[in-house]
């Protein structure tokens, strides 16, 4: 008790009063400071929200010694979060001015699809600047220095069902004497879960006086790795620099298989200046991008190109690609060589067609009006070259194309084709010269009304030695054989000689049968030399209109060659071989012999070959005694014998037969009295066991 009395006596009344006031004042001051900070946070957040056009929140605010203020936990909408933002101030009188801004660990997350109407510029510069937000002034015409440290950027762009995502870590923006330097650490670009590109380190110098456009850019360390399907590419070094409105590019990359790619060029951003002369106006500048390729493996493209019928598993690509732009005019020039590729498309050949070396020279121009022009381009094999030029106007959908094979030795042309493309011609030797042109001019809205021009000039080819695989000379008097398909799906060989039970010499076949097949299958059989050019042109336009091969325009001579030496596949390989062998057949064999062979080998039903078999099967009598109506019935079966041969004749079928009878009359093979309407019963078809 004595000690307490002494302690109380130690403080005098005045001191006790001051102590009491202090105990009351400190909480009041702290409460006041809290209220001031709360008011400051509220007013600052509101001002920044109006400036940014998005909700802005701040966790805390403090003063710094520079002098300045520090904003902690700054959030702008859902896109930008800054761990700390330091604003350095200087005072002109009583009004502060913003001297600099430092952002530490900012994180930008932006959905380009969701916020496509709100650009990054509006995010950083703000929507509306009110009177109260102008309290902090900056010097007119100049941005205060801004620095970013240890930032992170996440951008997302929705593409259909997947998203394109860009992630960049350790992002820095550092003030320089003449602008800013932008540096990133590891960055990656992904499409969904698939990695498209990975960048270890990248830097660029930015010019704030021209909208922060880059003046220089370079890959500082590491590499860019493109691993997207089906392409894989590694960029070893890249550099870009700006001089005025011109950007100079340099890029060195390594492709799979030790191939090298070099990209260089210039891009002019400002409108092209024009220099006038007395003669004409000359453009002064032009955008140019040039890529040099050296032993670039195409294996990564194999999955994509295999669906197009091209095998590039072992292929190498070398050459140059140049893309240039003059205003709205674009031009692509390519000088490429592909080694080790092969073609696998069933419309080309049944087996792979190796192409040891293929050269492509392409010159493609797009005019400001949108017209595409192909100028003097060339596709070349080691011994052959095909030249092409043409144009396409999207507005009118007009397409014109001219293909030209310059005069070339006949033997050079034959040996220049890949052997796998013309195996039946192996061993044939020719002399003379050969050239060809093909001109197509069509309106894609009405392709069948287009025009096709075809010319063989010169054509002086002569055969010195026939191919063992196409011994046409044996057809003159010999007994060839054909492979036929049986009704049960099997195959066997069938002889076409006078000793064969079903073989009929031409003079024993009814003249009505001969005439019916000629008018139905090859009206100008006796006038042409193996090829009906008018029908070929019509078939080409028809197939282009249908975008598939539906019509072949084969003559009787071509069908004989197809059945005796080749197969029934629809391919370029078969057509090439068929053309050469048909040309040789017409040289050595008479029209009568060709027609005789055709009438004895043509298919007219499941397992039914030749007019003699067909006459006995359908009418129970020999082909020597068929009536005109029965003859045109057999001829009408040839387009689809396995389907039509088992069908029951109806009114539409009889109308087709009547049309063939009229064609026989117009061609002079039939008297007018024989052309009349017939009922199906007039055919005299033999009832089969399945119909009884």
What is the per-residue pLDDT across 541-560, written as a single tens digit (0 to 9) for each?
888 888 787 777 889 999 99
Q: CB neighbours (10 Å) of residue 342? A: 19
pLDDT grade for 630, boundaries at 50, 70 and 90: very high
> Which residues, 6+ apart, have CB-to-CB distance to 59 below 8 Å?
72, 73, 74
Per-residue confidence (pLDDT) for residue 533, from 0 to 100: 85
Average pLDDT of the chain, as a whole number: 80
- Is residue 389 within 8 Å of 365, Cβ to Cβ? no
More confident residue, 380 or 297: 380
Q: For the chain, how big is the Rg over CA atoms in Å? A: 43
Answer whether residue 362 shows pLDDT above 90: yes
Q: Which two tokens stand for residue 443?
A: 């309106």
Mean pLDDT of 606-614: 91
pTM higher than 0.85, yes or no? no
- Is residue 312 within 8 Å of 277, Cβ to Cβ? no
Q: Which two tokens stand for residue 594?
A: 């060709």
Least trusted range by pLDDT, from 29-38, 145-154, 250-259: 29-38
Per-residue confidence (pLDDT) for residue 303, from 0 to 100: 80
Per-residue confidence (pLDDT) for residue 203, from 0 to 100: 83
Report CA torsion sign: 32, 33, 36, 41.
negative
What is the per-residue pLDDT across 171-224, written as a single tens digit (0 to 9) for each?
888 888 778 888 888 888 887 777 777 777 878 888 777 767 777 777 765 556
Distance separating alpha carbons of residues 322 and 639, to the nearest angstrom: 50
Per-residue confidence (pLDDT) for residue 134, from 0 to 100: 43
Cα-Cα end-to-end distance for the chain = 140
Mean pLDDT of 356-374: 93
Helix (H) or strand (E) holding 151: strand 146-159
Answer whether residue 433 shows pLDDT above 80: yes
CA geometry: angle at 479 spanning 475 and 485, to 5°?
Answer: 100
Please choose, from the candidates 149, 147, 169, 167, the residue with its C-alpha nearest in 3D space to the C-alpha of residue 157.
167
Per-residue confidence (pLDDT) for residue 257, from 0 to 100: 64
Cα dihedral 170→173→175→181 (10° resolution): 90
Answer whether residue 516 shows pLDDT above 90: yes
pLDDT grade for 96, boundaries at 50, 70 and 90: low
Least trusted range by pLDDT, from 86-100, 144-158, 336-350: 86-100
Per-residue confidence (pLDDT) for residue 227, from 0 to 100: 53
Answer whether residue 305 shows pLDDT above 60: yes
SS3 content of the chain, % helix, strand, coil (to 5): 30, 40, 30
**Exposure string (b/e) for 464-494, b if CB count within 10 Å is 16 or more?**
eebbebbebeebeeeebebebeeeeeeeeeb
């Amino acid at each position: 008790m004595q000690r307490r009395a002494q302690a109380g006596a130690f403080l005098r009344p005045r001191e006790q009063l001051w102590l009491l006031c202090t105990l009351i004042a400190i909480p009041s001051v702290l409460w006041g400071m809290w209220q001031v900070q709360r008011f400051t946070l509220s007013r600052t957040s509101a001002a920044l929200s109006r400036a940014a056009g998005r909700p802005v929140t701040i966790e805390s605010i403090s003063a710094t010694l520079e002098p300045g203020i520090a904003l902690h936990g700054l959030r702008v909408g859902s896109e930008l979060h800054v761990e700390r933002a330091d604003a350095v101030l200087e005072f002109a009188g009583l009004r502060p001015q913003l001297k600099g801004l430092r952002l530490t660990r900012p994180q930008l997350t932006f959905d380009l699809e969701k916020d496509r109407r709100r650009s990054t510029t509006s995010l950083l510069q703000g929507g509306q600047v009110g009177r109260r937000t102008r309290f902090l002034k900056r010097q007119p015409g100049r941005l205060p220095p801004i620095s970013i440290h240890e930032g992170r950027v996440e951008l997302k762009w929705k593409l259909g069902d997947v998203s394109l995502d860009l992630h960049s870590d350790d992002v820095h923006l550092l003030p320089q004497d003449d602008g800013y330097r932008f540096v990133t650490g590891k960055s990656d670009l992904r499409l969904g879960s698939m990695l498209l590109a990975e960048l270890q380190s990248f830097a660029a110098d930015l010019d704030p006086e021209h909208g922060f456009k880059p003046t220089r850019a370079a890959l500082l360390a590491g590499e860019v790795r493109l691993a997207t399907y089906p392409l894989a590419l590694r960029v070893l070094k890249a550099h870009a620099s700006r001089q005025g409105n011109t950007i100079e590019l340099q890029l060195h990359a390594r492709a799979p298989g030790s191939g090298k790619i070099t990209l260089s060029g210039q891009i002019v951003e400002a409108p092209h200046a024009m220099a006038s002369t007395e003669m004409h106006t000359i453009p002064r500048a032009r955008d140019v991008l040039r890529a040099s390729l050296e032993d670039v493996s195409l294996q990564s493209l194999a999955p994509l190109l295999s669906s197009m019928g091209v095998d590039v598993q072992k292929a190498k690509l070398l050459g140059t690609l140049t893309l240039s732009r003059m205003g709205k005019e674009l031009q692509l020039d390519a000088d490429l060589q592909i080694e080790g590729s092969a073609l696998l498309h069933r419309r080309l050949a049944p087996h792979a067609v190796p192409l040891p070396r293929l050269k492509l020279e392409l010159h493609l121009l797009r005019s400001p009006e949108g017209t595409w022009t192909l100028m003097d381009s060339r596709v070349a094999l080691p011994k052959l070259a095909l030249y092409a030029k043409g144009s396409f106007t999207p507005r009118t959908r007009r397409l014109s194309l001219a293909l030209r094979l310059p005069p070339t030795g006949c033997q050079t042309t034959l040996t220049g084709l890949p052997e796998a493309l013309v195996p039946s011609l192996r061993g044939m030797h020719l002399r003379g010269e050969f050239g060809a042109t093909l001109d197509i001019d069509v309106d894609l809205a009405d392709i069948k009304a287009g025009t096709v021009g075809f010319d063989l000039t010169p054509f002086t080819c002569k055969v010195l030695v026939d191919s063992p695989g196409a011994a046409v000379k044996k057809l003159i008097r010999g007994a060839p054989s054909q492979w036929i398909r049986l009704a049960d799906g099997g195959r066997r060989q069938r002889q076409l000689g006078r000793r064969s039970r079903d073989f009929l010499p031409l003079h024993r076949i009814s003249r009505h049968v001969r005439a019916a097949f000629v008018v139905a299958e090859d009206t100008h059989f006796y006038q042409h030399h193996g090829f009906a050019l008018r029908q070929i042109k019509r078939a080409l336009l028809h197939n282009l209109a249908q975008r598939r091969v539906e019509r072949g325009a084969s003559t009787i001579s071509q069908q004989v060659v197809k059945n005796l030496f080749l197969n029934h596949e629809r391919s370029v390989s078969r057509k090439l071989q068929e053309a050469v062998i048909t040309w040789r057949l017409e040289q050595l064999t008479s029209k009568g012999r060709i027609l005789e062979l055709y009438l004895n080998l043509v298919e007219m039903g499941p397992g039914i070959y030749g007019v003699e078999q067909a006459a006995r099967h359908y009418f129970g009598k020999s082909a020597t005694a068929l009536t005109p109506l029965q003859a045109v019935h057999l001829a009408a079966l040839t387009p689809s014998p396995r389907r039509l041969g088992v069908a029951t004749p109806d009114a539409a079928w009889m109308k087709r037969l009547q049309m063939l009878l009229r064609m026989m009359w117009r061609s002079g093979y039939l008297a007018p009295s024989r052309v009349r309407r017939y009922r199906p019963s007039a055919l005299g078809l033999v009832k089969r066991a399945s119909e009884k």
